[in-house]
Amino acid sequence: MKLLDKLFEQQTRQLAQHSSRRGILKGLGTLLVGAGTIPLLPVARAAAADTPARPVEEGDEASCDYWRYCAIDGFLCSCCGGTKNTCPPGTEMSPVTWIGTCRNPADGRNYVISYNDCCGKSSCGACLCQRDEGDRPPYRPDKTNDINWCLGTASAAYHCSTAIVVGVAFEEK
Amino acid sequence: MRLVLALGLALLGPLVWGGDINPQRAQFNYQMSCQGCHAPDGSGANAVPRMRDQVGIFLASGAGREYLVRVPGSAVSALSDADLAEVLNWIVQEFAGASVTVPFEPYTPQEVGALRQHPLNEVMAYRAQLLADIASAK
C-alpha cells in the first residue's frame, strides 16, 4: 500500500511541477487559432483556382514601375483622372486591346494583363510610361503596342491606358 | 474508346465534345492570342467577327471547318499545333452554343498542323462566299 501511495504522490508532484494551468489555456488557444488558419492554407486556394484572380498587390499605380505596367506604352490613366482599371470621365474604353503577362512581386505569380486604351479625347500627356516588355514588331500585330489600340470605339483619339488583370498565366508543371 | 464516347455524347444531345482540353491552358492561350480582338466572351468588336453563338456555323461544311484553322488569326499565330487545336476546340465548346448543327469532331494537332500551312489571304471575300454556300446548302 505504501508503495502505491508513494508512487502516486511522486507522479502527482511531478505533473504539478512540470505543467501549469495556463499551459492548458495556451494549448487550447493554439488549437483554436490553428483550426482557424487551416482554411487559409494553399489547399483551399487551389480549390478556388477557377475564381477570377484578385492578386495581392503592392506599389503605386500612378508610377511607371508599378508591376502591372511591365508591357505598357502610353499615358497612365491613374494620372489622368482614371485608375489602373477604369477610364477617366469623358473617355470610352476600347474593347480591342493588347494583352501580355506581368510578374506580381507581391506573390511571385504571372498574371495576364489587358492594356485597354481609353479613347475619345486627345492625349492625356501625364505619366508617359514605356516599358514595352514582350513588345513585338508590327508583323506580329497582336503583340505590338506601337499601333493605336483605339479600335472598336466611337473615336480613335488615344487618351491613356489602363492595365486590367484578366487572369493568371498558365504554367506547365 | 474516344469515338464511342463522342458518339455516345452526340446521341445524348449535346453536339460538342471538345476532346482532351486543359481548360486553364486553353483559356490562357485564348487570352494571349485571341481575346485582345475577339473579346473575353467571344463577342468580337466592330470589324472583328463575333464567335459567340456563331462560330459553329462554319462547322456545317468541310471548307468551313478548315476555314477556322486557315484564317490568319489561327494559321499564323504563335501557338503550337497542339495548343492551336486545343484552343479551337475550347472556343467551339465555350462559345459556339446552338450554332453547332452537326456533331463536332474535335480538331487534332495533326489536322491543324496540315491546314495551317495554307493560310488565307483574301479572308473577307472568302468568308462571305463560305457563309453564302453554307446558307444555300441548308
Banded model confidence at residue B12, pLDDT cuts 50, 70, 90: very low
Q: Nearest Cβ partner of B31 from A49, A152, A167?
A: A167
Dump pLDDT digits (tens) for A69-113.
Answer: 999 999 999 999 999 999 999 999 999 998 999 999 999 999 999
Q: Nearest Cβ partner of B28 from A49, A96, A167?
A: A167
Question: Does residue A96 sit in the same domain as residue A152?
Answer: yes
Query: Residue A95 maps to which CATH number?
Result: 2.60.30.10
Contact assignment for B35 to A101 by CB distance below 8 Å = no
Question: Does residue A110 sit in the same domain as residue A143?
Answer: yes
- Dihedral pair phi/psi, residue A103, rounded to 5°: -90, 125
Domain containing A71 equals: 67-168
Residues in chain B: 138
Dump pLDDT digits (tens) for B58-97.
Answer: 999 999 999 999 999 999 999 999 999 999 999 999 999 9
Residues of chain A with Cβ-Cβ distance to B35 below 8 Å are 99, 114, 166
CA distances (Å), origin B105, targets B81, B128, B130: 17, 24, 20
CA-based nearest residue in chain B for residue A52: B24
Question: Does residue A79 sit in the same domain as residue A33?
Answer: no
Question: Does residue A73 sit in the same domain as residue A116?
Answer: yes
Task: Answer whether A167's CB lies under 8 Å from A53's CB.
Answer: yes
Interface test with A, best of B33, B34, B35 (most A CBs within 10 A): B35
pLDDT in the model for residue A39: 52
- Number of C-alpha atoms within 13 angstroms, CB side, residue A160? 27
C-alpha distance from A145 to closest chain B C-alpha (Å)? 12
Task: Answer whether B22's CB lies under 8 Å from B99's CB.
Answer: no
Is position A133 within any domain?
yes
Q: Decide if A149 is catalytic.
A: no
Residues of A with CB under 8 A from a CB of B: 49, 95-101, 112, 114, 140, 142-143, 151-152, 166-170, 172
Question: Does residue A139 sit in the same domain as residue A110?
Answer: yes
Question: Does residue A42 sit in the same domain as residue A103?
Answer: no
- Name the grid cell of B52: 459567340
Per-residue 3-state assignment (H helix, E strand, C coil) for B102-134: CCECCCCHHHHHHHCCCCCCCHHHHHHHHHHHH
Interface test with B, best of A110, A114, A119, A142 (most B CBs within 10 A): A142
Task: Answer whether B85's CB lies under 8 Å from B70's CB.
Answer: no
Question: Does residue A42 sit in the same domain as residue A74?
Answer: no
Is position A58 within any domain?
no
ipTM: 0.79
Q: Decide if A5 is catalytic.
A: no
Share of chain A above pLDDT 90, in %: 53
Question: Going by C-beta distance under 8 Å and a sequence separation of 6 or more, which residues neighbour residue A47?
Answer: none
What is the count of structural domains for chain B? 1
Mean pLDDT, rounded, for B6-35: 75
Residues of chain B with Cβ-Cβ distance to A134 below 8 Å are none
Domain containing B19 equals: 2-137
Is position A62 within any domain?
no
C-alpha distance from B25 to closest chain A C-alpha (Å)? 6
Is position A16 within any domain?
yes
Question: Does residue A114 sit in the same domain as residue A164?
Answer: yes
Q: Nearest Cβ partner of A151 from B29, B31, B46?
A: B46
Query: How many other CB atoms sit within 10 Å of the CB of residue A47?
Result: 9
Question: Does residue A107 sit in the same domain as residue A154?
Answer: yes
Task: Answer whether A123's CB lies under 8 Å from A159's CB.
Answer: yes
Residue bearing the bigger pLDDT, A116 or A26: A116
- Cα of A50 vs its chain's centroid, Å: 15
Query: Residue B74 maps to which CATH number?
Result: 1.10.760.10
Is position A59 within any domain?
no
Question: Does residue A42 sit in the same domain as residue A99?
Answer: no
Is position A60 within any domain?
no
Alpha-carbon Rg for chain A in angstroms: 28
Q: Rounded CA gap, A9 and A173, in Å?
A: 61
Is position A126 within any domain?
yes
Question: Does residue A36 sit in the same domain as residue A103?
Answer: no
pLDDT in the model for residue A46: 46
Is position A18 within any domain?
yes
Residues of B with CB under 8 A from a CB of A: 24-25, 27-29, 31-33, 35-37, 39-40, 45-46, 48, 73, 77-78
Residues of chain A with Cβ-Cβ distance to B46 below 8 Å are 96, 151-152
What is the count of structural domains for chain A? 2
User: pLDDT at residue A28 above 90?
Assistant: no
Question: Does residue A30 sit in the same domain as residue A87?
Answer: no
